[in-house]
Amino acid sequence: MHTVIPENYKPVLGLYDTQTAIGMIKQNFQQGLSSALNLKRVTAPLFVNPLTGLNDNLNGVERPVSFDIANTDIRAEVVHSLAKWKRMALLRYGFKAGEGIYTDMNAIRRDEEMDNLHSVYTDQWDWERIITREERNEDTLRRVVSAIVGAVCDANEKLKKEYRELSCEIKRDVTFVTSQELEDMYPELSPKERENAFVREHKTVFVMQIGKKLRSGLRHDGRAPDYDDWNLNGDILVWNEVLKMAFELSSMGIRVDEKSLDRQLAELGVNERRELTYHKMLLEGKLPLTIGGGIGQSRLCMLLLQKAHIGEVQVSVWDDETCLSCEKGGIPLL
């Protein structure tokens, strides 16, 4: 486990105020997000049938939690995210271009490497919006990223009016950079070190084109081949002053169409997915073109409330070493 204890750390808010503030953040942000992107709230699944191909495979190596359902031959999988399910839902619900959905997504990622930012329990606002063929471009991506950052800043300002002891600052202006540009600027650094160096200077950053191979032959980070178009995706990062690091709030992007899906499945050598229901529909052009992503609920609360550990804003399971180090460092895990 990799737990960082900031020197002389003390939570700004106590446990009671923290719980009240979490509710305020979630209410204000989801209202701002739905207004900015024209999204309607929908109910979402906790688990899916793996034969549909609807579960998110993340980097392709994470093991889903699965269980058998009595009196059936189904072995269901707890979702990793709803990246694919949302797109199918938009088709079934009859949404049109310019309209979208968001939902509370809860997941179990048992292979997550736990640290200050990562837990085996994942909670996020998963959202998806239909776009036209003409909108599948970088300008659309940039506009949506800026709208999301604006909703984050609005929620932060409302929170600080209620809790004046909070002092989190988030820059509204987003600096856009590609993963290749980061490699060119910092060839001697690892991807995470590049992010830290760049975000430390620019504060609010969107790193674009994640998943594709860089000129070095490496990838900035892994991405499944069947939801984001690797040329039109990225991560929203802000500077976390408590942990002194680049802090990811969202992974998002314009989703694959039939051409980019075909190319990315072949590149990663997972052509067997072409036989799954979701992938067949995509390759045949039967699903709407969309942009979407996930925004971490606990991540956002952790940032705005100036917490040092995600366990201060969500209830999860931690190993003994993490519990002991947090206790010694004055970090109260829920």
Active site residues: 56, 109, 124, 235, 248, 251
Give the integer Cα–Cα distance in Å for 36 and 23: 20
Both tokens assigned to 254: 């314009």
Both tokens assigned to 18: 């923290």
Q: In what order do the strands lie in the sheet with 75-78?
A: 47-48, 75-78, 66-68
Give the integer Cα–Cα distance in Å for 220 and 190: 9
Angle at which helices 297-304 and 15-37 cross, to 10°: 120
Side-chain-facing half-sphere of 258: CA atoms under 13 Å: 10
In 10 A of CB 163, how many CB atoms? 17
Contact between 183 and 220 (Cβ < 8 Å): yes
3-state secondary structure of 88: helix
Both tokens assigned to 17: 């105020």
Contact between 222 and 60 (Cβ < 8 Å): yes
